[in-house]
Copies of this chain bind each other. A is one copy, B any other.
Amino acid sequence: MADTATLLGDKWMLLILREVSYGVTRFDDLKRELKMSSATLSNRASRLVEIGMLEKHDYREDGSRPRAQYLLTEMGRAFGKVLWAMMEWGDAYLGKGKSPIELVSPKSGKSLTLALVDDHGAVTEFEDAQPVVKA
Chain A residues within 8 Å of B, Cβ to Cβ: 1-11, 13-15, 18, 52, 75, 77-90, 92-94, 96, 99-108, 110-124, 126-134
Contact = CB atoms under 8 A, between A and B. Distances in A.
Given A116-B112, A117-B117, A124-B112, A134 B102 contact: yes
Contacts of A10: 9-11
Contacts of A107: 122, 124
B106 A128 contact: yes
A113 B117 contact: yes
A21 B96 CA distance: 26
A94 B132 contact: no
23 contacts: A2-B18, A4-B94, A5-B14, A7-B94, A9-B10, A9-B13, A10-B10, A10-B11, A52-B93, A78-B89, A79-B89, A79-B93, A82-B82, A102-B131, A103-B116, A105-B122, A105-B124, A105-B128, A106-B129, A110-B118, A110-B119, A117-B123, A121-B121
